[in-house]
Amino acid sequence: MSEITIYHNPKCGTSRNTLALIRESGIEPQVIEYLKTPPTREELVALIAASGLSVREIMRSKEALFSELGLADQAKTDDELIDAMLAHPILMNRPIVVTPLGTRLCRPVEVVHEILQPR
């Protein structure tokens, strides 16, 4: 099993490009298509914590569903936002890459270089 995991959406260009960069570095990551296999609450909370980002920063605020569900409301708690991402994984921003060197939301794609070991 790979030491690198990418939470991937194959329809997303940034996600596809990040996956390509990882593969170009000679690594075959574990690919989790999170729309088909969403993380559990515990996994999502751990990803957010490891990334160093806030729950809001991990959310895809440009997704239409974000507005439809009123998630821009600053009164929404982190738990409410996490519940929304669990119910609607499309609200997770992507790609999230996990390596032994750290966890990053790889937007822009070049961020992945921060957590890939040089070969």
- Rounded to whole angstroms, the Cα distance separating 79 from 55 reads 9
pLDDT score recorded for residue 117:
79
What rounded mean pLDDT belongs to the chain?
95
Structural domain of residue 87, as residue ranges?
5-115
The CATH code of the domain that includes 19 is: 3.40.30.10
Query: 1 pLDDT band (50/70/90 cuts)?
Result: low
Catalytic residue among 12, 46, 86, 115: 12
106 is known as an active-site residue: no
pTM of the model: 0.94
> Structurally, how many domains does the chain consist of?
1
Q: What is the mean pLDDT of residues 7-24?
A: 97
